Structure 1
Amino acid sequence: MAQETVNLEQEVVLVEELGNVRVVTLNNPKQLNIISPKVVEPLAANLEKWEEDEKAKLVIIKGAGRAFSAGGDLKMFYNGRNSKDSCLEVVYRMYWLCNHIHTYKKTMVALVHGISMGGGASLMAPMKFSVVTEKTVFSTPEASIGFHTDCGFSYMLSRLPGRLGEYLGLTGARLNGKELIAAGLATHFVPLEKLPELEKHLLSLNTGDEDAVGFAIKEFSTDVQIDEESILKKQSIIDECFSKDSVADIISSFETEAGKEGNGWIVPVLKGLKRSSPTGLKITLRSIREGRKQTLSECLKKEFRITIHTLRARISGDVYEGIRALTIDKDNSPKVCLSHSHTHSHIFGDILCF
């Protein structure tokens, strides 16, 4: 079995070709394996190549360090804020990659041992087999910084039970490995200590046969029960509050619930919602709700348009102010933009005109 030679110091995507198995390792652990052009380009190129390669039967994707992937490279977007469409190509390639993963012809397995957020989670959730552990942490926190739920998540979140999708998209709430299984965003829970052994076993099988791969993963996996305090146990409150017509109505309804006995968990969530970009929240809510009636392709096209117009700051500068506060100056004090006065119909009407 031939193994491709790689430079561990420079390559942020490591590729191994082992018999009929192709292993991709996201290899930028210091930056939590963020998605940059250096990730998107080789990942897209290799997946396309392997799909046509008769020798490639199984593709495994994993991350180095304590993260699978923490999502998009926010500093890349920020640094390109004054250059027209500086990130257009990488955004387009990423959306193409998202569509490709959803429709991939070969068997794919994601081994998600740690942080998996935003665009990073789009390399996990659509997989036929997505394996999570007790260390896995998932979230879609984009709305809080003035962005929106993207990379196919307006499609995926809109198909979760009840109004869980709106809740996750608007609040950026985190789910652990057990909760991902229960919500249907991952397929198998394998204890972290067993993950290397599972990978070795998949390599030894040397096949992409779905039944064989599924049976092998199941042998290593354990059944899960979510904790009593899990957000998934609060479905009735989430459905009640996050079914409201607008962000303002959702927040008002959530405030009412927060005042009831036993609902102390709502207080920090509500605080985060109120600190988030109103523009990002409005666009995210509308996008997820429209996603229920849209195909994957329609969702990705819509998200692409929203992303480009957001990066062009056509609606507001919230996203750049949010990135500045979170990752540049790290003061966590984003300044309110005047664009918050837009109604959400106005925002969406403007942003979808490409």
Structure 2
Amino acid sequence: MKNVESTPDTDMLIRRSLQRLSVVFQHVKMTSSYNFSTSAPDDVILETIDTKGVITLNRPKVLNSLNLSMIRKIHPQLTAWENEPLTTMVIIKGAGDKAFCAGGDIRAVTEAGKVGDRLSQDFFKEEYMLNNKIGTYEIPYVALIDGITMGGGVGLSVHGMFRVATERTLFAMPETAIGLFPDVGGGYFLPRLGGKLGVYLALSGFRLKGRDVLKAGVATHFVQSDKLADLEKSLLAMENARAHDIGEVLYKYQSMSTDIPDTDFVLEPHIEEIDRLFNGDTVEEIVHNLKMEGSEWAKKQLDTLSKMSPTSMKITLRQILEAETMTLQDVLVMEYRLSQHCVEDHDFYEGVRALLVDKDQSPKWNPATLEKVTPQKVDWYFSPLPEERELKL
């Protein structure tokens, strides 16, 4: 993407955007000396209240970022509740008022990958197994996605039956900015948002806020944050918590959430452009479409894409296009292969360095241009792992 036009104003906007992302990403990391077996006893709180299970992600100082310790507590508890005939509902929420879950321990994974620690395999594998459990859960699952919800936090919520956004919800899948791809089943839900919205969100990392998370189809309901405590009480008080009845309670609280203005979908003015310009079989085709369009909006998208990892964008587009007709299980198997090849390659480490470690916001991608990311390189990312390392669901 050498020929993307750049101006001081657009460069400044992109730098600011990357800096905002780095503020989020820097919380999503291990905070000590990378003892990969670290497990805090209260990093997630699991409660059984009457016939309901309640999960509280309890790392508010790091925006409730998801680590392997939490995954290994949540997954078996979900299984136990599912096997308990009396359990009628599971609620998952985040501690504090800033985040549901800002993502996974990205920096810990890259630090582990550098030294060959198993965390770089185990984290992704066990996280995706948890995502699959949520996506196939037989009990109504209610995620209260209040605050920042990115990456791993999306995986903990979007595959469940109910996702409740608030005015504080900030949703994004910004992985192409750090040399990764929208994982945790992103390949499954993004192409199912309709049109090319999922492709656009995945390649650009565009952030959705508040009611727009509902309007995009990521959330199922919107409830203003000052009503969440009462909503939870109402859910826990339900005697007959069937899916239909839970939906009625959520809709009741949504209908009462009128203090937050209901405006048009933020991307509504550009939906036609998104569906037309991001409709391509290759990233090069999408870039060409944007260049030919020539509008100010199209130029902004080119500036944004020019900052992303070319390799990440290519594997992301293929991921989403192939996943349109795949089951969640097949998508997660594919994504696990992608994750392990990211750990074996360059850009994931470089993206984390640029945004989290040195924080210079200037990643040096390799290859540096779309043209140099060969079809063979992309094929390698999707290639099977040794049988003993494949994800089995």
Partner of 1:253: 289
* Counterpart mapping for 1:142-161 below 5 A: 142-161=175-194
Aligned to 1:105: 138
1:133 to 142, 145, 166: 166
**In the alignment, what sits opposite 1:186?**
219
Q: Measured at CA, do residues 228 and 111 of structure 1 come closer, stay the same or move farther in structure 2, by a change above 3 Å?
A: closer
Equivalent of residue 33 in structure 1, options 39, 49, 64: 64
Q: Partner of 1:43: helix, strand, or coil?
A: helix
5+ long unaligned stretches in structure 2: 1-39, 386-393
Is 1:116 equivalent to 2:149 in the alignment? yes
Measure how far apart 1:344 and its partner are: 5.1
Q: 1:216 aligns with which of 233, 242, 249?
A: 249
In the aligned structure 1, how far is the partner of 2:268 from the partner of 2:68? 35
Q: What is the DSSP-based 3-state SS (H/G/I as helix, E as strand, rest coil) of the residue aligned with 2:113?
A: coil
Identify the match of residue 81 of structure 1 among 87, 94, 113: 113
User: Is this contact kept in 2: 1:78–1:324, CA < 8 A?
Assistant: no
* TM-score, structure 2 normalization: 0.82
Gaps of 5+ in 1: 1-8
* Deviating more after overlay: 206-215 vs 149-158: 206-215
Pairwise CA distance, 1:226: 6.2
Offset, 1:251: 2.0
Output one character per residue of 1:308-336: Cα deviation in whole Å (capped at 9) or x when no partner.
111122xxx00100011111121111113
2:77 is matched with 46
Q: Is the 8 A contact 1:13 1:26 kept in 2?
A: yes
| Alpha-carbon distance, 1:249 to partner | 2.3
* Residue of structure 1 equivalent to 2:125: 92
Counterpart AA for 2:268: L
Q: 1:55-70 counterparts in 2 under 5 A?
A: 55-65=86-96, 66-70=98-102
Which of 336, 341, 354 aligns to 1:325? It is 354
Pairs within 5 Å for 1:267-306: 267-306=299-338
TM-score of the two chains, using structure 1 as the length reference: 0.90
Q: Deviations over 1:288-313 (max 9, x none)?
A: 00011212111111001110111122
Could you report, residue by residue, the CA deviation over 1:190-220 in whole angstroms, capped at 9, with x for unpaired residues? 1111111100111111443112211111111
User: 2:365 aligned to 332, 336, 346, which one?
Assistant: 336
Match 2:204 to one of 145, 167, 171? 171
* 1:147-189 CA-partner distances (Å, limit 9, x unpaired): 1111111011111211111101000001123222222211111
The code of the aligned residue for 2:232 comes to E
State the alpha-carbon separation in 2 of the partners of residues 188 and 17 from structure 1. Answer: 24
> How big is each residue's C-alpha offset from its partner over 1:42-91, in whole Å with a ceiling of 9 and x where there is no partner?
11111111110123211000011210011111111121122334321121
What's the offset of the Cα at 1:144? 1.6
TM-fit CA distance, 1:10: 4.8
1:21 to 1:134, Cα distance in 2 relative to 1, 3 A: same
The amino acid across from 1:73 in the alignment is D
